[in-house]
Each structure stands twice: as structure tokens, then as C-alpha cells.
């Protein structure tokens, strides 16, 4: 626990040193694109308010609250890493990912010290390469990782174990989306069948319309 706490404090100290420069750069970019006009960004700001509130709400403990409903994680309205970045700043996705990675590593009971540089680089890789993933999807991934659902560590922290496991999760996610699309297609086809009429019904309706037009014309 001391190692985890020390690593977090070091990361926070470094982020505070760089925060001013990063925020000025990010602020200039935000002024150009004006992302706050995006509904998804505004929803994040309305839901969580401050960046600190977002981080406090979405701690590793929240994994237990959502792990039983994978469909909600996949298809719910949780923000993506990209939206979080637009809402709160350049490094916030990484700042959120580091505690998730630390929690997973601590849970696995690694015997060797965790390398701070590896941890931060891995968080950056995930934030960049998987920026389209939702926060709830990643919480689900980390819960499944701790449940020995994917690859596992061998006494020491290995970023490739996380990245390889994440690819396995992406495949699961793709299958979930395929199932949902198939269900929607089947539902649409069923609705079409319910609203369809037979050829005999069509002829009868046609005859009734013809008879009605003739009577209307005769009047």
C-alpha cells in the first residue's frame, strides 16, 4: 500500500508542476474547437461538475457496482476517454487510468515493485489507442481482468499483459455489438411480418377501394 500511495503522490506532484503549461495549451485548443458546445461534453460537465468529482465517482470501487450489467457498460451513455479529455483536459484520461492500473496490479499481488514510468506510459497508450472506449467499458474490463478472465501477470508488472488482455476484451465487445445488431434486425423483421398482409387481403382491399371510388363517383 505504501508503494501505491507513494507512486500516486509522485504522479500528482509531477502533474501539478506541468498543469499550468498543459492547461494553457489545452485551453487554446478548446477555444478553437469549442468542445463545450458538444452535447456529450456538456453532459459530462452537468453530471460530474469538476474534474475532481469525476475522478472520485469513477474509482476502481465502482467496478463492483456495474460489473453485473455488461450491456449497460457497452450500450449505456457513459462518456468515452475522448469526451473526458475534451471536458477536463489533456492528461485527465491518464490520471483516471493510473489508479485503475494500480488497483489491478495490487489485486494480483505482484512481488516486484511497480515501475512508475511503465505505469504512466501504459496509461498514455490506452488513452491514445483506445480513446473511443467508454469509462464504464474500461471499468468492466479491469473487473474482468482481476477475475482472471484474460491474461495474467507472472510476479511482476508487464504492460503487454494488460494490452493483450484489452484486445481480448475488445473482441468480446465486438461480439456484444454483433448480438445487439442481430437482435435489432430480428425485431425489425418481426415488426414487418406483423404489419404485413397476405395477397388475398391485398386483393380484397383493392376491390373495396375500387367499389368505394365507383360509388363516390356515382354520387
Residue 8 has pLDDT above 70, yes or no: no
Nearest-5° angle of CA 44, CA 45, CA 51? 95
Report the pLDDT value the prediction gives residue 61, as an integer from 0 to 100: 96
* Inter-residue contact 139 to 74 (CB < 8 Å): no
Report the pLDDT value the prediction gives residue 7, as an integer from 0 to 100: 55
* Inter-residue contact 91 to 127 (CB < 8 Å): no
The whole-model pTM stands at 0.74
Give the DSSP H/E element, type plus range, for residue 82. Answer: helix 81-88
Summarised one tens digit per residue, pLDDT across range 170-212 is: 999 999 999 999 998 888 877 777 777 677 776 777 666 765 6
Percent of the chain topping pLDDT 70: 75
First to last CA, the chain: 93
Rounded to a whole number, what is the largest CA-CA distance in the chain? Answer: 96
Summarised one tens digit per residue, pLDDT across range 19-30 is: 444 444 444 444
Model confidence at 116, pLDDT cuts 50, 70, 90, reads confident
Model confidence at 114, pLDDT cuts 50, 70, 90, reads confident
How many CB atoms are located within 10 Å of the residue 48 CB? Answer: 19
Report the pLDDT value the prediction gives residue 194, as an integer from 0 to 100: 75
CA pair distance 219, 216, nearest whole angstrom: 5
What backbone phi and psi angles, to 5 degrees, belong to 175?
Answer: -65, -35
Amino acid at each position: 500500500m505504501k508503494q501505491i500511495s507513494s507512486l500516486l503522490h509522485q504522479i500528482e506532484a509531477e502533474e501539478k508542476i506541468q498543469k499550468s503549461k498543459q492547461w494553457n495549451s489545452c485551453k487554446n485548443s478548446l477555444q478553437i474547437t469549442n468542445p463545450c458546445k458538444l452535447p456529450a461534453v456538456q453532459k459530462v460537465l452537468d453530471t460530474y461538475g469538476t474534474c475532481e468529482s469525476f475522478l472520485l465517482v469513477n474509482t476502481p470501487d465502482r467496478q463492483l457496482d456495474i460489473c453485473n450489467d455488461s450491456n449497460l457498460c457497452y450500450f449505456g451513455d457513459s462518456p468515452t476517454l475522448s469526451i473526458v479529455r475534451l471536458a477536463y483536459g489533456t492528461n485527465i484520461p491518464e490520471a483516471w487510468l493510473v489508479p485503475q492500473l494500480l488497483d489491478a496490479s495490487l489485486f494480483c499481488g505482484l512481488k516486484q515493485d511497480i515501475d512508475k514510468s511503465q505505469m504512466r506510459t501504459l496509461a498514455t497508450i490506452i488513452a491514445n489507442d483506445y480513446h473511443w472506449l467508454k469509462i464504464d467499458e474500461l471499468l468492466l474490463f479491469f473487473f474482468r481482468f482481476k477475475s482472471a478472465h484474460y491474461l495474467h501477470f507472472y510476479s511482476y508488472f508487464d504492460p503487454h499483459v494488460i494490452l493483450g488482455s484489452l484486445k481480448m476484451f475488445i473482441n468480446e465487445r465486438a461480439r456484444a455489438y454483433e448480438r445487439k445488431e442481430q437482435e435489432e434486425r430480428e425485431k425489425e423483421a418481426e415488426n414487418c411480418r406483423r404489419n404485413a398482409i397476405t395477397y388475398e387481403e391485398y386483393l380484397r382491399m383493392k376491390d373495396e377501394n375500387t367499389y368505394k371510388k365507383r360509388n363516390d363517383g356515382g354520387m
